[in-house]
Amino acid sequence: MRILIADDDAKVAEHVRRGLSEAGYAVDVAQDGAEALWLAENHKYDAMVLDVMMPVQDGLTAIRQMRRKGILTPAIFLTARHELQDRVRGLDAGADDYLAKPFSMVELLARLRALLRRQRAEPVDRLRVADLELDLLARAAERGGQRIALTNREFALLELLMMAAPKPVSKTAIVEHVWDQHFDSGTNVVNVYVNYLRAKIDKPGLPPLIHTVRGIGYALKEPDA
């Protein structure tokens, strides 16, 4: 899988490149929209990660020109502009997804995987880790064939952990995606919800799947993974 990154901030681009490389992707980096356009015209990429605000040519102009030239590679926008109209503008220009800065590498990887799955028309309605299964359409969870009743918030939390599995998800990322309002991440609310989820998923006698990764956050993985 080959990914094109375009970001004028060399340090951010380097971190994203390293994160994607570690996840097994081949990565090319462009420093502005014009270079990204040139690379996209001359190489075949499976996906693109483009910053919106770049010198010479911004991400919006670059993606518009790519789409006009018939380059339909799926693209995720990285942007510091969080307002609804900015997101709409980005998606209307031809992007497939939108990730607001500051973002977590785990989330970028999860979105990239989802984008690539959609490209390959793979079903994305079920997530599975060990014997835990999450049906995204029916909004139902099962472990070892046993149905687990979850509240909306527990479902969203489990979905996030399963999308990122086996990588850990930070408390900040959990707050950002499970709660639509930014809680003070110093509060215990995330821990309480993780404990609620633990009580339902990791019942006595079953190998625990939800792990606390100190200094990082929480991970959902098989005990020996």
For residue 202 the two structure tokens come to 């990791």
Which of residues 101 and 200 has its CB atom nearest to another protein in the complex? 101
Bond from prior residue into 102 cis (ω within 30 degrees of 0): yes
Q: How far is the CB of 102 from another protein (least distance, A)?
A: 4
DSSP 8-class letter at 207 = P
- Give the nearest distance from C-beta 158 to another protein in angstroms: 17
Shortest Cβ 17–another protein spacing (Å): 11
Per the structure block, which two tokens stand in for 137?
């359409």
Nearer to another protein among residue 82 and residue 203 (C-beta): 82
Cβ closest to another protein, residue 51 vs residue 132: 51
**Residues in the chain, overall count:** 225
How many CB atoms are closer than 10 A to CB 148? 19
Binding residues for another protein, per CB under 8 A? 9, 11-12, 15-16, 18-19, 53, 78, 80-85, 100-106, 153, 170-172, 175, 179-189, 192, 214-217
CB 131 within 8 A of CB 143: yes
Complex with another protein: residue 54 or 132, whichever CB lies closer: 54
Q: From the CB of 194, what's the least distance to another protein, in Å?
A: 12
Neighbours of 55 (CB within 10 A): 10
